[in-house]
Amino acid sequence: MAEIKFGTDGWRALIAEEFTFDNIRLVTQAIANYIKDNKLEKKGIMVGFDNRFLSEEFASAVAEVLAGNSIKVFLAPHGVPTPAVAYSVKIKELAGAVMLTASHNPHTYHGIKFIPHYAGPAMPDITDQIVENVRKLQENSEIHRLERDEAQKMGFITLFHPQNNYLYHLQSLLDVDAIKKSGLKVVVDPMHGAGIGYLDKFLIALGVSVITINSSRDAYFGGLLPDPAEDNLSSLRFKVRENEADLGLALDGDADRMGVMDSRGNYYSPNQILIMVLRHLIKNRKWKGTVARTVATTHMLDRIGLEHNVQVVETPVGFKYIGNAMIKKGAFLGGEESGGISIKGHVPEKDGILGCLLFMEMVAVEGKDPAEILEDIYKEYGPVVSRRLDIHCTQQKKEKVLEILKHYDPGYICSKQVLTANRIDGWKFLLEDGSWCLIRASGTEPVFRIYAEAAVEADVVALQREVKENLTL
């Protein structure tokens, strides 16, 4: 029997291996039990899905189980972005949403993400209850189900398209006049995912010159990972250069992450995007308050924040913790190095569409090329280079390294004194010159990730090399 776990952003598994209709119904019943236990069943649930293989059929299976538990379902008619689904929870005041997606994972994977009533990723206390409900159901399966046709006749399933409400809301978060007047020409790449018809539609309505690529549904994502990392955006780079566009804007499989290129095809990492957006919000919007970032995200946010009396809150990895900081600490910006971003006034869920538009707004307001904007930041706050090194090993090796890490407490790394160490999520060491490194073990795979940040590339490489050698990886 499959072990069903909720990771940093839901349950994901191989289609047909563990991600089967039976297991989907099992997990949905566990979610329905959670909703009923918390007396939220009268509020209804949104069900959305991305463009992966069998997504519509999986979504129907979810809707049938929810309907079988007398929970009203608002079912998306076709693939929709995760942030649009989350926003629907907010405006319709629902008990939550079930989003069928494996985000940026390979096409062979699918997944279920539960979005609670506060319209952000579910925190561990909620997913723990759902997983416990799964365990109970595996012992004594009692799954209620109402066939879709019958459920629709009875009013338990209603089709609901979130696009218009969501895009209208985005207008309230952005300086649309600056974007309209900018004269910018952009190429949009939704990577065959659920973001098709969102970012481009928004910009075209503003009169922006838009060229769209990879905008047809393809469950194989064109043979690439639906991840807007630089290695997967060669077609975007080509199209930007070919059409002499100002920007290339990309979205991942469920449009909650982003990728950006300038007119020369230079790629901007999520860390770089975050520091540019933060500076824009402080400089041009005059925003003050708190910013939330994960332990693996650039400390340049801290440097900028320090200069402007902006507090930075550090969280474990996973946007659910960022979203929690946005709710409880009122953070006006939340971000992570893996590409997630959101701002105050929006839902506490990462949003690649919003991220692309914020970047475009920044370029429009500044009237400069992104490379110039980034260079200005480095001149003002000092240079920074951030990298992540993934190290694959055997499960046996992973266990040995985890044992070493229990006692790993270096006084110096690369001849630099360790000033502080924290265990918020992994093993993180802050060094005397402001550089730092973080070691995290994957919760599901025999993989270690070594993050490092320093003023120059050579120091980043040296930090990662020494830590790797110390851990015998």
CA pseudo-torsion sign 173, 334, 105, 18: negative
Print the domain residue range for 84.
11-164
CA atoms within 13 A on the CB side of 175: 17
Residues 205-219, mean pLDDT to the nearest whole number: 97
* Domain-embedded: residue 150: yes
Average pLDDT, the chain: 96
Evaluate whether residue 457 is within a structural domain: yes
For residue 241, being part of any structural domain is answered with yes
Residue 2's pLDDT band (boundaries 50, 70, 90)? low
Strands 447-454 and 436-441: antiparallel
Give the full edge-to-edge strand order of the sheet including 333-335: 311-315, 290-294, 333-335, 341-343
Residues 6+ apart with CB under 8 A from 255: 81, 82, 83, 84, 190, 193, 194, 195, 198, 199, 351, 352, 353
Backbone phi and psi for residue 31, each to the nearest 5 degrees, phi listed first: -65, -45
Asked if 231 and 370 sit in the same domain, the reply is yes
Q: Mean pLDDT throughout 126-146?
A: 93
* Whether residues 415 and 433 fall in one domain: yes
The rounded distance, in Å, linking the Cα atoms of 351 and 34 is: 26
Cα torsion 263, 267, 273, 279: sign = negative
Residue 314, pLDDT > 90, answer yes
User: How many domains does the chain contain in total?
Assistant: 3
Token couple for 9: 């952003």
3 located within any domain: no
Convert 40-49 to b/e letters by CB count within 10 Å (16 or more is b): bbebbbbbbb
Gap between the Cα atoms of 211 and 156, Å rounded? 40
End position of a domain, from candidates 381, 396, 420: 381
Same domain, 402 and 455: yes
Tokens 């990462």 found at? 350
Please tell me whether residues 128 and 254 are part of one structural domain: no
User: HSE of 221 in the Cβ direction (CA atoms, 13 Å)?
Assistant: 28
CA distance 20 to 25: 9
Query: Residues 472, 8, 351, 123: what is their CA dihedral angle, to the nearest 10 degrees?
Result: -140
Are 377 and 428 members of one domain?
no
395 and 343 part of one domain: no
Is 73 within 8 Å of 45 (Cβ atoms)?
A: yes
Average pLDDT over residues 363-386: 97
| Domain's final residue, options 327, 355, 381 | 381
Is residue 4 a part of any domain in this protein? no
Q: Is the pLDDT of residue 8 over 80?
A: no
Residue 387: other Cβ atoms inside 10 A: 16
Q: How far apart are CA 410 and CA 417, in angstroms?
A: 9
pLDDT given at position 330:
97
Selection from 355, 340, 170 nearest residue 260 by Cα: 355
Tell me how far apart the alpha carbons of residues 270 and 227 are, in angstroms, rounded to a whole number. Answer: 12
Tell me, yes or no, whether 112 and 201 share the same domain. Answer: no
The DSSP code sequence of 307-372 is HTT-EEEEE-SSHHHHHHHHHHS--SEEE-TTS-EEETTS-SS--HHHHHHHHHHHHHHHTS-HHH
Do the domain assignments include residue 408?
yes
What are the tens digits of pLDDT across the range 37-87?
Answer: 999 999 999 999 999 999 999 999 999 999 999 999 999 999 999 999 999
Query: Do the Cβ atoms of 249 and 260 come closer than 8 Å?
Result: yes
Give the pLDDT score at 95. Answer: 98
Q: Are residues 409 and 284 in the same domain?
A: no
Q: How far apart, in whole angstroms, are the C-alpha atoms of residue 382 and residue 38?
A: 50
CATH number at residue 424: 3.30.310.50
pLDDT in tens, 216-252: 999 999 999 999 999 999 999 999 999 999 999 999 9
Share of the chain above pLDDT 90, in %: 95
- The helices-and-strands tally (H runs, E runs) of the chain is 16, 21
Share above pLDDT 70 across residues of the chain, in percent, rounded to a whole number: 99
Q: Give the distance, in angstroms, between the CA of residue 450 and the centroid of all CA atoms in the same chain.
A: 20
CATH number of the domain that residue 47 is part of: 3.40.120.10
Domain limit, last residue, from 131, 164, 197: 164
Confidence at residue 14, expressed as pLDDT on a 0 to 100 scale: 94
Find the Cα–Cα–Cα–Cα dihedral 229, 234, 238, 241, rounded to 10°. 30
Q: Are residues 199 and 138 in the same domain?
A: no
User: For residue 443, what pLDDT band results from cuts at 50, 70 and 90?
Assistant: confident
Same domain (yes/no): 432, 324? no
| Amino acid symbol at 56 | E
**pLDDT of amino acid 1:** 56
Overall average pLDDT of the 261-266 stretch: 98
Distance between CA atoms of 77 and 402, rounded to whole angstroms?
Answer: 46
Per-residue pLDDT band at 325 (split at 50, 70, 90): very high
Q: Are strands 73-75 and 45-49 parallel, antiparallel or unpaired?
A: parallel
